[in-house]
């Protein structure tokens, strides 16, 4: 199965449809008047669709088991066609489009099975996904590549060449995945003067993200958050709360991170942990949805 452990839970919805076409008006009339020998076709098809939605992961090998938190099955008739609409919601890490299509397919098969004794020419047509919402696909990821970034590694040992930077370089690769170009990459000591100098240099542009990597631990030498916080014009408290929650689900020590986020002018400033894995997890927790904060600031100012 595809690895989805890096994804975050979010509200996800999908609507799928299927069409069952009968060959004569008498079939439609039998449905409307409740005269189909096998029973109430829509009631049976609805129950079958609900079973199918819930059992999708048992049938489709690569589908993940997930909580179904809402399902609705609707039927409409026009001339000789019966349209089935199946809507499914979940709050989870992956979407429910296959569940919706599976439900529509089984509802259509149920109608076929119940109608074939009275109509030998029933056809199932056009099983398809109508719409889906939720997850990262809802965010337009920097389509014009207007957003740029600066990555600043705060580490005394890396600055002194006693260790090699891995977290900063990994973050640059992550930024590429959301079409963000890293214009500046620097390694500095974790000192107040050095951090403030980088903030002065790289908070003058709009559509820019300044990411400090390292210096967020509990050691007395880790001073990045304390240096950045007084310079923020607006602290975004919920951002790092989300990142820490995400990290703690994967590694309990994430609660010790003192990372911070906020705005200086139209620049988004973030501080990430210095561990490569933790920095990557913080990125996965926040991007691309964090880019919305840049749009909000521009909307407020213009």
Q: Which helix (H) or strand (E) holds 293?
A: helix 292-301
DSSP state of 190: S
CB 135 within 8 A of CB 129: no
Per-residue model confidence (pLDDT) at position 202: 95
Q: What region, left, alpha or beta, does residue 248 occupy, with left being phi > 0 and alpha being psi -120 to 50 degrees?
A: alpha
Q: Which of 135, 157, 173 is the last residue of a domain?
A: 135
For the sheet with 70-78, list strands across it: 70-78, 81-92, 10-21, 123-133
Are 204 and 284 found together in one domain?
yes
Are 27 and 80 found together in one domain?
yes
The single residue of 40, 62, 72, 113 carrying the catalytic annotation is: 113
Range of the domain at 152: 148-301
Are 74 and 198 found together in one domain?
no
Phi, psi of 106 (to 5 degrees): -70, -35
Q: Which helix (H) or strand (E) holds 28?
A: helix 25-32
The DSSP code sequence of 74-123 is: EEEEETTEEEEEEEEEEEESS--HHHHHHHHHHHHHHHHHHHTTT-TT-E
Are 85 and 159 found together in one domain?
no
CB under 8 Å, gap of 24 or more: what pairs does 295-302 form?
Answer: 297/263, 297/266, 298/206, 298/207, 298/266, 301/266
Q: Is residue 153 part of a domain?
A: yes
Are 163 and 188 found together in one domain?
yes
DSSP state of 256: G
Per-residue model confidence (pLDDT) at position 302: 42
Are 184 and 116 found together in one domain?
no
DSSP state of 302: -
CB neighbours of residue 15 within 10 Å: 20
Per-residue model confidence (pLDDT) at position 257: 77
Domain count, the chain: 2
Are 181 and 85 found together in one domain?
no
Per-residue model confidence (pLDDT) at position 146: 82
Are 180 and 276 found together in one domain?
yes
Residue 118, CA atoms < 13 Å, CB-side half-sphere: 19
CA distances to 175, 185, 240, 293, 296 from 290, in Å:
12, 21, 11, 6, 10
Q: What is the CATH number of the domain that holds 70?
A: 3.30.70.640
Q: Is residue 292 part of a domain?
A: yes
Taking the model in full, what pTM does it have?
A: 0.70
Are 129 and 191 found together in one domain?
no
Sequence-separated (6 or more) residues with CB below 8 Å from residue 159? 187, 188, 189
Active site residue 58: no
Q: What is the CATH number of the domain that holds 196?
A: 3.40.980.10
Are 153 and 130 found together in one domain?
no
Nearest CA-CA partner of 154 in 80, 100, 216: 216
Q: Which helix (H) or strand (E) holds 286?
A: helix 276-286
Over the chain (302 residues), what is each successive 10-residue block's mean pLDDT? 83 97 96 95 98 96 95 97 98 94 98 96 96 73 74 95 95 93 95 95 91 83 90 92 82 75 93 92 89 70 46
Are 164 and 243 found together in one domain?
yes
């Amino acid at each position: 199965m595809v690895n989805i452990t890096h994804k975050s839970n979010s509200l996800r919805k999908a609507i799928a449809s299927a069409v069952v076409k009968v060959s004569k008006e008498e079939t439609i009339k039998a449905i409307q008047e409740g005269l189909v020998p096998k029973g109430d076709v829509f009631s049976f098809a609805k129950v079958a669709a609900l079973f199918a939605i819930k059992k999708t992961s048992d049938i489709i090998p690569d589908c993940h088991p997930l909580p179904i938190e809402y399902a609705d099955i609707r039927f409409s008739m026009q001339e000789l066609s019966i349209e089935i609409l199946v809507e499914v919601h979940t709050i989870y890490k992956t979407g429910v489009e296959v569940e919706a299509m599976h439900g529509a397919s089984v509802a259509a098969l149920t109608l076929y099975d119940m109608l074939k004794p009275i109509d030998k020419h029933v056809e199932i047509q056009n099983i398809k996904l109508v719409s889906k919402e939720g997850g990262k696909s809802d965010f337009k990821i920097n389509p014009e590549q207007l957003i740029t970034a600066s990555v600043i590694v705060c580490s005394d040992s890396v600055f002194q060449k006693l260790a090699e930077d891995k977290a900063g370089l990994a973050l640059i690769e992550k930024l590429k995945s959301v079409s963000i170009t890293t214009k500046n990459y620097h390694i500095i000591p974790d000192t107040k003067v050095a951090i403030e100098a980088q903030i002065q240099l790289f908070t003058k542009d709009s559509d820019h993200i300044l990411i400090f990597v390292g210096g967020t631990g509990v050691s007395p030498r880790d001073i990045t958050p304390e240096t950045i916080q007084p310079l923020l014009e607006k602290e975004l408290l919920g951002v790092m709360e989300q990142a820490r929650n995400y990290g703690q689900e994967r590694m309990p020590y994430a609660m010790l991170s003192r990372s911070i986020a906020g705005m200086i002018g139209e620049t988004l400033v973030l501080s990430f942990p210095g561990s490569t894995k933790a920095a990557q997890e913080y990125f996965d927790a926040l991007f691309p949805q964090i880019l919305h904060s840049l749009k909000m600031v521009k909307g407020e100012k213009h």
